[in-house]
Amino acid sequence: MRKSLAAYSLLFLMFCLACSSKKTPSSTHYSPLTQIDTANVQGLQVAWTYHTGDADTINHSQIQCNPLFVDGTLYSTSPRLVLFALDAATGAAKWTFNPQDSNQNKSRKDFALNNNRGVTYWRGGDDRRIFYSAGPWLYAIDANTGKMIPSFGKEGKIDLHDGLGRDVHDLYVVATSPGIIYKDLLIMGTRVSEGSDAAPGYLRAYDTRTGELKWTFHTIPWPGEFGYDTWEDPIAWKNIGGANAWSGFSLDEKRGILFAPIGSASFDFYGGKRKGQGLFSDCLLALDAATGKRIWHFQQIHHDTWDKDLPTPPALVTVMHNGQMVDAVAQPTKTGFVFLLDRETGVSLFPIEEKPVPTNTELAGEKLWPTQPFPALPKPFVRQTFNDSDVNDLLPDSSIAEIKARLKGYHTGNMFNPQSKEGTVILPGLDGAAEWGGPAFDPATGLLYVNANEMPWIITITDVPGTANLPPSVVPHTFLEAGRQLYLQNCISCHGPDRKGGGNYPSLLGAAKKYNEQQFVDLITNGRRMMPAFKQLSGEDRSALAAFILDIRSQQQKAFTVSAAPVDSFRNLPYTITGYNKFLSREGYPAIKPPWGTLNAINLNTGEIEWKIPLGEYPEFAEKGIITGTENYGGPVVTAGGLVFIAATRDGKIRAFHKRTGKLLWQADLPAAGFATPTVYSAGGRQFIVIACGGGKLGTHSADTYVAFALKE
């Protein structure tokens, strides 16, 4: 575990000689390739492009996939989740697999179009397989032919609803991040709803050949399991959802330790129905990969009511600590901390203090945890509070005054302020600090590279209307009345009270121009990308919602029958939020001073920030010599050639920085913003950098393109 410096130097040399350029389970985003370096990076040019042909520009489709390189082939997915294989040297297509064309899906209407961030490869002798998810299905695909493997699961696929301990087939269960392979096991996490209707986020391992379920880890412990007593409600395990590993995994193959970053329990912003510390929500879990047994855990937020779930797998690193080389895990967080923990024990390499935080909530039934963990080092890589002195000074004086006036009405100044009906400033924002792109780690320098967002958000709590126990004069009698009430119960938290959307959620005004009634009903039944499915609603409920949102006047006065089903006292929460709202000026800029997006180099040997630069540009400010940074999604890759490659920004560029100084050495325009992590590999004697250019987020246009860069032959 702890090695001398000389021993580490030998191990590092062996690592560089043996390591291939394909993705590794250590989640370090490191490439030992050196053909492209600080001296010649300016010579990069487009080597090939590949168009998937299925961008959905009306619905702002995206490509978030980090392509997988194996033995000269690149595997990735399209905006509509078509899986494909390319010749990695030329970009020529080898095969494609469209899950919506498979025999099992031709007559189904339960296919949800979610984002996909990667695929998984397994080899057993001559058997080579790609595993990936589309909608609720986990597919096994022959890596040579692109055909489904019928001996896996049920004719080549598994329903991710199965095996979660209770019937969740009417709930939203998909997987946006790839699983991970340990020997002949495929270990999977899931994405579930973040509302009170969330399915449990249990971790599951499947036999790679047959699809047989081999083990399950209950992230919300059952009676008799470790952590069960951290929930005050003795039947929380029957009701609580979430606590899911939506962002993927890391794996120490030699030790057989799986590292799973766990999300928050649902509902995200009110914990009155899930009182207690709440293991294993918001934990980094270390499990025996072969059996799923807990080895250790570290909870980075207790009783989370801020949506601060762990957004990325940790990087498995080796650092110099107290004169010895120590194998550790580096876990970046949405709060702007990096927790550096011993890989075998979970003990922090730097001191962590449990500091008191505000608990004076106005929400009935809420019981906040009195302390939260603060590491002494590494130092935070983003700002964590927002006060008058932080207001955006690039704005006109009138806008600055308007923001300060609004700020006075919000709860601010502490990132653990309770949620409120007046509005609470969330900084770092709901998308981080760190986000799903993940960090990169350079074993030669001990530097961890983390790109970050510095966008304040506002969360405002409101009472939830309901039909239970209401007097007859208030119970909805028409489709219009029912649709309005169902919107307030189910949709307001994402799309806001005025249906104008906010954050990453679109406006519903003018939805009738995009959907007819049946298309809309299909959408809310199946979900799409960030929107969960609402299968728990009755057919009449869905029609009433359609009548209200699409303004179908011929339907609005139809008589509505309130469901006779018993009221679920657990899932009918007393509060919801009025939307995911970024704190913006009236000009549309962040209310906080720049930088709004950064790239950070953190020295894990010392805990200090080695360098920090704005990442991305707004052209109108760049023309004045002001580099503000932008919100960014997708991570960096660091190479032995001395470079950090990253796209991620809304300005539609990919960049290369000097890994020791942060100096910009090269940049290129992309056909659309590259909200994904690049892949670096060698094929045909050339080193390539490939990035998915899907756009779609942050108001950018959608595209269908993968672009590969290389030096001229």
What pLDDT was estimated at residue 537? Answer: 79
- Decide if 246 is inside a domain: no
Average pLDDT, rounded, for the chain: 90
**Structure confidence at residue 491 (pLDDT):** 80
User: Position of tokens 């792109």?
Assistant: 437
Determine what percent of the chain is predicted with pLDDT higher than 70: 91
Q: How far apart are CA 430 and CA 432, in angstroms?
A: 6
Segment among 10-24, 67-81, 319-333 with least mean pLDDT: 10-24
306's CB contacts (< 8 A; 6+ apart) are 268, 269, 415, 416, 419, 426
Residue 713 has pLDDT above 80, yes or no: yes
Higher pLDDT, 519 or 93: 93
The amino acid at 572: N
The helix (run of H) or strand (run of E) holding residue 555 is helix 553-556
Spatial distance between the Cα atoms of 30 and 25, rounded to a whole number of angstroms: 11
Whether the Cβ atoms of residue 692 and residue 628 lie closer than 8 Å to each other:
no
pLDDT at 561: 75
pLDDT class of 564 with cuts at 50, 70, 90: low
Q: What 8-state DSSP symbol labels residue 311?
A: -
Give the C-alpha distances (Å, rounded to integers) separating 629 from 22, 584, 615: 30, 15, 4
Check residue 530 and give its pLDDT.
62
Asked, for residue 540, whether it belongs to a domain, the answer is: yes
* Mean pLDDT value of segment 603-632: 98
pLDDT at 20 over 80: no
Residue 101 gets which letter from DSSP?
A: G
Residue 279 has pLDDT above 50, yes or no: yes
> What are the DSSP calls for 419-463, one per residue?
P-SS-EEESSBTTBSS-TT--EEETTTTEEEEEEE---EEE-EEE
* 368 pLDDT above the threshold of 80: yes
DSSP state of 100: G
d(CA 710, CA 713): 8
Give the per-residue pLDDT at 6: 42
**How much is the pLDDT for 521?**
77
pLDDT at 415: 97
Q: Among 283-292, 340-349, 545-554, 625-634, whose mean pLDDT is lowest?
A: 545-554
Within a domain: 558: yes
- Reported as a single tens digit per residue, the pLDDT across 131-150 is 999 999 999 999 999 999 99
323: in domain: no
Residue 93 · residue 86 · CB < 8 Å:
yes
User: Looking at the whole model, is its pTM more than 0.85?
Assistant: yes
3-state secondary structure of 487: helix
CATH of the domain at 545: 1.10.760.10
Q: What angle do CA 688, 692, 693 make, to 5 degrees?
A: 120
- Mean pLDDT is lowest, of 196-200, 368-372, 631-635, 640-644, for 196-200
Could you give the CA distance from residue 404 to residue 396 in angstroms, rounded to a whole number? 13
d(CA 160, CA 169): 9
Q: Which of 298-302, 404-408, 563-567 has the lowest mean pLDDT?
A: 563-567
Among 115-119, 273-277, 474-478, 669-673, name the one with the lowest average pLDDT.
474-478
- Strands 2-3, 653-658: pairing is unpaired
Q: Give the model's pLDDT for residue 418.
A: 98
- Asked whether residue 177 is domain-assigned, the answer is no
Q: Which of 10-19, 313-322, 439-448, 581-590 has the lowest mean pLDDT?
A: 10-19
Inside any domain, residue 694: no
State which residues form the domain around 525: 465-572
d(CA 78, CA 111): 15
Annotate 243-301 with DSSP letters as a single string. Answer: ---TT--EEETTTTEEEEE--PBSSTT--TTS-S--TTTTEEEEEETTT--EEEEEESS
- DSSP bridge pairs for 188: 204
- Is residue 565 in some structural domain? yes
Residue 622's CB: how many other CB atoms inside 10 A?
13
**Measured between alpha carbons, how far is 639 from 641 in angstroms, rounded to an integer?**
5
Q: Residue 204: beta bridge partners? A: 188, 216
Query: Confidence band (pLDDT; 50, 70, 90) for 410?
Result: very high
Residue 657: helix, strand or coil by DSSP?
A: strand
Full DSSP string of 210-223: T--EEEEE-SSPPT
Return the pLDDT at 601.
98
pLDDT of residue 471: 44
pLDDT average, residue stretch 427-435: 96
The length of the chain in residues reads 713
Number of folded domains in the chain?
A: 1
Report how far residue 699's alpha carbon sits from residue 694's, in angstroms, rounded to the nearest whole number.
12
Confidence label for 87 from pLDDT (cuts 50, 70 and 90): very high
Of all residues in the chain, what percent carry a pLDDT higher than 90?
A: 76
Q: Give me the phi and psi of 549, to 5 degrees please.
A: -75, -40
pLDDT at position 482 is: 78
pLDDT band at 119 (very low <50, low <70, confident <90, very high): very high
Of the candidates 316, 290, 292, the residue with the CA atom closest to the CA atom of residue 182: 290
The pLDDT, as a whole number, for residue 72 is 98
506 within some domain: yes
pLDDT at 504 over 50: yes
Round to whole Å and give the CA distance between 428 and 595. 13
Q: Mean per-residue pLDDT for 48-77?
A: 96
The two structure tokens encoding residue 24: 């590794």
Least confidently predicted of 160-164, 415-419, 507-511: 507-511
Amino acid at 18: A
